[in-house]
Amino acid sequence: MSQATFGDDELFGEAANEMREDVESSLAAGWDALPAADDVWETDADNVLGVLNGLNSALDVGDAEDHLRDAKKWFTMGERADAFEDADDLEAEIADLEEAIEDISEASEQVSDLTSTIPTLRGTLEDSGVDDADDEGDDEADEADE
């Protein structure tokens, strides 16, 4: 009977290691799915709307949420089974990834709001004649220089 118990313990230990590897793998895939810092920072757009559209596209978390969900699923299962000797590092990394996804999603929402607001603002300013008043001031300054 002791060999059967040893076999069960060995199998449980192996399963626990595989569960940890699954969590770690899902976390790594989640981080990899996030946008690169340069994609969020750099742009080659010609105007504000182009910048905002590019930024909004760059702020896509991709499959990171799915990978986070898998990591949390396996982590929860491992915790409930008391399979992890020390899981503080996994728990901290799950929290970090979750926070990063939330930050990126919030930024995306803010950029989306601006993307819809800026054209309206431009239209309002064009309709108000603000550009025309600036152009007249420029023309008067040009005439004074001559």
pLDDT tens-digit series, residues 1-10: 445 555 788 8
pLDDT per residue over 6-37, tens digit each? 578 888 888 888 999 999 999 999 999 999 99
- In percent, the amount of the chain with pLDDT more than 90 equals 67
- Whether pLDDT at 47 is above 80: yes
Please give the residue range of the domain that contains residue 45.
2-145
The two tokens of residue 101 are 């996804």
Average pLDDT, the chain: 87
Give the CA distances from residue 19 to residues 64, 81, 102, 146, in Å, rounded to whole numbers and listed in that order.
19, 11, 25, 79
**Terminal C-alpha separation, the chain:** 106
Q: Which pTM value belongs to this model?
A: 0.77
Q: How many domains does the chain have?
A: 1
